[in-house]
């Protein structure tokens, strides 16, 4: 009997990499894809790495497949925007060793700045796109995808969504099949995308996708499940599970490959049902392709291209279409209490953002834990767009104002190494006169503590090169660089103030390690906790302004009826930031 495990989709993809003989896996972290590489790294048979950004991850994996290695690169949906240049050109070249690019899309934006349907990228670059619906498929599709990639010498988009990445289901395990790395076969007409070569390659790409379209008609990736009620539903990914739950009697065409589509199979399916619906998450991608082919169907009219689908939403759409009575009560509200994100106790970003607010800085910020500094009561963050944007946006504002005074671009260490260095280079060149703060906590914290070139450790725990951020800044031409401790509010505020008042470009590096990652840090920052002396507390709530989850209202009141504060000693890490803002020294270390 084969062993079975309960795996998340991400764990299952990693297991698929192991079983299907993958040689090389690369990624830059990003929810919901991060756990793929974290789990691949547990298999020593596969070389795995966190690359500094998605473009580099893509390029490393691409080079490996040129050598005939079986490779996978993983990223979140917006990561593909970063890797898009390589992604587009690779289509022309092909993937001799087998190549999967995992894009983990985030409908509903559980932890993303935007919502985008990356199936359009597949069509744009003429990659076949495969989409599993559960963890077993997540594992199996790695093998099927690699086979497809090698057979047609094409890179393959492997699209996941949050529910498939994080949902758990049973997976049957198999053994690893070993494959040789076949070696690089020099062929400049194939591997060098000169215009003259590219012109020859493009028709080959179109011929390749036409052949894959024929192949799609018979691949087991797509299947029909015959129902009894005359309704036909074409669906994909996580939505397939909702369709089966809501309308088990419908005939379902489950597309495991959403580009290119098996048009003849779909035409036959359409003929076999009375009414045809396409139920898909995000954009009407399949529906539009069917309409171009003249296949009568309905879809987005009854659903929406905004947010995530659920069984309730699938049912409501079918009811709207007049073919179903939804058993769900739309008035029933979710009973989960919302928990807005907040800096952890001991987070080094707290002191920085409290100081930025005090100094009334105009803050162009970036993407990471520190983005939470935009939220009240810290409330110091005026713009945030995409990874690496903070410095460029700060420079742009400074140019429009004809002064960089008062403008502070804040960027995390992982984000700086991902795509901030060129922004700083430009700021130096432009003599922008802004202040750049690199919030260095030595880890990629937002996504759960992944190593980067400034961490001194690699994905597999091996010792890595710990890049010196100050030296990078110097090397691109910044010469006013200060390194400070963000737990020290006086130092943070005064250093910021001086920089903000200057006409010169300044770089400030705050260097306190993250309070959570790696786990040993928790011991480092957990000093003797603080407590509120209720005899001294005047109920002014200045300590609330540092937004620490360890601080709350107590049941004690002042003579004026103001509530006194209290500190949960189990949560307090002893960072002392709250003690520094208390005007009456009522917050003291527990003796």
Q: Supply the DSSP symbol for 543.
A: G
Cβ neighbours of residue 16 closer than 8 Å, sequence gap 6 or more: 138, 139, 140, 141, 142, 143
- Nearest CB to ligand TPP, comparing residues 73 and 316: 73
Is 486 among the residues that bind ligand TPP (CB under 6 A)? no
CB of 544 to ligand TPP, least distance (A): 22
Judged by CB under 6 A, which of 445, 472, 532, 577 binds ligand TPP?
Answer: 445
Quick one: tokens of 208?
Answer: 């390749």
C-alpha 363/C-alpha 382 separation (Å) is 5
Q: Which stretch, 23-31, 154-162, 302-310, 490-498, contacts ligand TPP (CB under 6 A)?
A: 23-31
User: CB nearest ligand TPP: which residue?
Assistant: 412
Window 547-566: contact mask with ligand TPP (x via CB under 6 A): --------------------
How many Cα atoms sit within 13 Å of 101 on the Cβ side?
37
Q: Where are the beta strands (DSSP E) in 423-488?
A: 435-440, 481-484
CA-to-CA separations, 522 to 403, 461, 514, 541, 571, in angstroms, rounded: 41, 18, 9, 27, 11
Q: Among 510, 487, 498, which Cα is nearest to 437's?
A: 510
Is 513 among the residues that bind ligand TPP (CB under 6 A)? no
Is 370 among the residues that bind ligand TPP (CB under 6 A)? yes
First to last CA, the chain: 60
Burial 16-43 (b: 16+ CB within 10 A, else e): bbbbbbbbbbbbbbbbbbbbbbbbbbeb
CB of 412 to ligand TPP, least distance (A): 2
Is 515 among the residues that bind ligand TPP (CB under 6 A)? no
Q: Which stretch, 180-188, 367-375, 491-499, 521-529, contacts ligand TPP (CB under 6 A)?
A: 367-375
Judged by CB under 6 A, which of 71, 118, 441, 547 binds ligand TPP?
Answer: 441
Window 80-119: contact mask with ligand TPP (x via CB under 6 A): --x-------------------------------------
Quick one: tokens of 306?
Answer: 């905004």
Judged by CB under 6 A, which of 69, 101, 318, 367 binds ligand TPP?
Answer: 367
Is 26 among the residues that bind ligand TPP (CB under 6 A)? no
Is 434 within 8 Å of 365 (Cβ atoms)?
A: no
Q: Which stretch, 158-166, 357-365, 443-451, 554-562, contacts ligand TPP (CB under 6 A)?
A: 443-451
- Nearest CB to ligand TPP, comparing residues 76 and 493: 76
Neighbours of 230 (CB within 10 A): 13
C-alpha 496/C-alpha 564 separation (Å) is 31
Q: What is the CA radius of gyration of the chain?
A: 27
C-alpha 132/C-alpha 158 separation (Å) is 8
CA-to-CA separations, 450 to 27, 51, 56, 465, in angstroms, rounded: 11, 11, 16, 15
CB of 410 to ligand TPP, least distance (A): 10
Quick one: tokens of 388?
Answer: 């690496």
Is 93 within 8 Å of 86 (Cβ atoms)?
A: no
Q: Which stretch, 75-83, 85-93, 161-169, 456-464, contacts ligand TPP (CB under 6 A)?
A: 75-83
C-alpha 10/C-alpha 7 separation (Å) is 8
Q: Is the peptide bond before 145 cis (omega within 30 degrees of 0)?
A: no
C-alpha 407/C-alpha 290 separation (Å) is 51
Q: Which stretch, 2-10, 28-36, 138-146, 524-532, contacts ligand TPP (CB under 6 A)?
A: 28-36
Partnered with residue 587 across adjacent β-strands are: 532
Quick one: tokens of 308?
Answer: 């995530």
- Nearest CB to ligand TPP, comparing residues 263 and 469: 469
CB of 79 to ligand TPP, least distance (A): 4
Judged by CB under 6 A, which of 162, 258, 365, 414 binds ligand TPP?
Answer: 414
Judged by CB under 6 A, which of 13, 129, 352, 387 binds ligand TPP?
Answer: 387
Is 78 among the residues that bind ligand TPP (CB under 6 A)? yes
- Nearest CB to ligand TPP, comparing residues 64 and 439: 439
CB of 440 to ligand TPP, least distance (A): 8
Any alpha helices (H) in 94-194, and if so which ranges? Answer: 119-125, 135-152, 162-166, 188-191
C-alpha 165/C-alpha 448 separation (Å) is 15
Helix (H) or strand (E) holding 24: strand 24-27
Judged by CB under 6 A, which of 149, 444, 492, 576 binds ligand TPP?
Answer: 444
Is 30 among the residues that bind ligand TPP (CB under 6 A)? yes
CB of 509 to ligand TPP, least distance (A): 12
| Number of shown-chain residues binding ligand TPP (CB under 6 A) | 23
Q: Which stretch, 76-84, 396-404, 423-431, 460-468, contacts ligand TPP (CB under 6 A)?
A: 76-84
Is 412 among the residues that bind ligand TPP (CB under 6 A)? yes
- Nearest CB to ligand TPP, comparing residues 241 and 415: 415
Is 443 among the residues that bind ligand TPP (CB under 6 A)? yes
- Could you tell me whether strands 222-225 and 251-255 are parallel, antiparallel, or unpaired per DSSP bridges? antiparallel
- Could you tell me whether strands 506-511 and 530-532 are parallel, antiparallel, or unpaired per DSSP bridges? unpaired
Is 586 among the residues that bind ligand TPP (CB under 6 A)? no
Quick one: tokens of 374?
Answer: 């935009």
Is 539 among the residues that bind ligand TPP (CB under 6 A)? no
Per DSSP, the three-state class of 300 is coil
Judged by CB under 6 A, which of 164, 257, 315, 369 binds ligand TPP?
Answer: 369
Judged by CB under 6 A, which of 126, 134, 280, 413 binds ligand TPP?
Answer: 413
Is 32 among the residues that bind ligand TPP (CB under 6 A)? no
Q: Which stretch, 39-47, 73-81, 180-188, 217-225, contacts ligand TPP (CB under 6 A)?
A: 73-81
CB of 264 to ligand TPP, least distance (A): 38
Is 52 within 8 Å of 93 (Cβ atoms)?
A: no
Is 29 among the residues that bind ligand TPP (CB under 6 A)? yes
CB of 224 to ligand TPP, least distance (A): 37
CB of 443 to ligand TPP, least distance (A): 6
The binding site for ligand TPP (CB under 6 A) comprises 28-30, 76, 78-79, 82, 367-370, 387, 412-415, 439, 441, 443-447
């Amino acid at each position: 009997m084969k062993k079975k495990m309960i795996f998340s989709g991400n764990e299952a993809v990693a297991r698929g990499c192991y079983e299907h003989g993958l040689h090389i896996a690369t990624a830059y972290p990003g929810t919901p894809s991060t756990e793929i590489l974290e789990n691949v790294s547990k298999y020593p048979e596969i070389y795995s790495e966190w690359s500094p950004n998605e473009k580099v991850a893509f390029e490393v994996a691409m080079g490996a497949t040129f050598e005939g290695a079986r490779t996978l690169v993983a990223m979140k949906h917006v990561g593909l925007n970063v890797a898009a240049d390589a992604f587009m050109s690779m289509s022309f070249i092909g993937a001799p060793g087998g190549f999967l690019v995992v894009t983990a899309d985030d409908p509903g934006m559980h932890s993303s700045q935007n919502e985008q349907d990356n199936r359009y990228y597949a069509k744009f670059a003429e990659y076949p796109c495969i989409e599993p619906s559960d963890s077993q498929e997540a594992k199996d599709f790695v093998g099927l995808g690699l086979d497809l990639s090698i057979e047609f010498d094409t890179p393959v988009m492997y699209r996941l969504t949050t529910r498939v990445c994080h949902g758990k289901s049973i997976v049957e395990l198999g053994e690893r099949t070993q494959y040789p790395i076949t070696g690089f076969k020099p062929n400049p007409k194939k591997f060098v995308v000169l215009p003259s070569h590219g012109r020859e390659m493009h028709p080959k790409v179109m011929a390749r996708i036409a052949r894959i379209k024929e192949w799609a008609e018979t691949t087991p990736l797509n299947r029909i499940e015959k129902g009894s009620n005359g309704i036909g539903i074409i669906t994909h990914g996580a939505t397939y599970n909702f369709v089966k739950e809501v309308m088990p009697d419908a005939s379902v065409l489950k597309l495991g490959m959403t580009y290119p589509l098996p048009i003849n199979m779909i035409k036959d399916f359409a003929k076999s049902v009375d009414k045809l619906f396409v139920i898909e998450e995000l954009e009407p991608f399949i529906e539009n392709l069917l309409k171009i082919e003249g296949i009568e169907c309905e879809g987005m009219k009854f659903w929406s291209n905004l947010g995530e689908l659920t069984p309730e939403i699938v049912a409501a759409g079918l009811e709207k279409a007049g073919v179903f009575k939804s058993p769900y009560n739309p008035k029933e509200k979710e009973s989960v209490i919302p928990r807005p994100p907040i800096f952890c106790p001991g987070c080094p970003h707290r002191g920085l953002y409290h100081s930025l607010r005090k100094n009334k800085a105009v803050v162009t910020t970036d993407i990471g834990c520190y983005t939470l500094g935009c939220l009240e009561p810290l409330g110091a963050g005026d713009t945030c767009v995409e990874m690496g944007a903070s410095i460029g946006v700060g420079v742009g504002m400074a140019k429009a104002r004809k002064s960089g005074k008062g403008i502070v671009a804040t960027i995390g260490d992982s984000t700086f190494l991902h795509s901030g260095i060129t922004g700083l280079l430009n700021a130096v060149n432009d003599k922008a006169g802004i202040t750049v703060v690199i919030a260095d906590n030595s880890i990629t914290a937002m996504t759960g503590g992944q190593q980067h070139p400034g961490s001194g450790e690699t994905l597999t725990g091996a010792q890595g090169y710990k890049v010196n951020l100050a030296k990078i800044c110097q090397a691109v031409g910044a010469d006013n660089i200060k390194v400070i401790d963000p737990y020290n509010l006086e130092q943070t505020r005064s250093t910021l103030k001086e920089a903000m008042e200057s006409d010169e470009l300044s770089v400030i590096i705050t260097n306190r390690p993250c309070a959570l990652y790696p786990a040993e840090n928790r011991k480092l920052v957990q000093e003797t906790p603080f407590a509120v002396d209720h005899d001294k507390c005047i109920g002014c709530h200045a300590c609330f302004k540092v937004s620490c989850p360890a601080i709350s209202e107590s049941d004690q009141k002042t003579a004026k009826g103001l509530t006194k504060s209290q500190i949960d000693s189990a949560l307090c890490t002893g960072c002392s930031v709250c003690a520094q803002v208390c005007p009456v020294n009522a917050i003291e270390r527990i003796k």
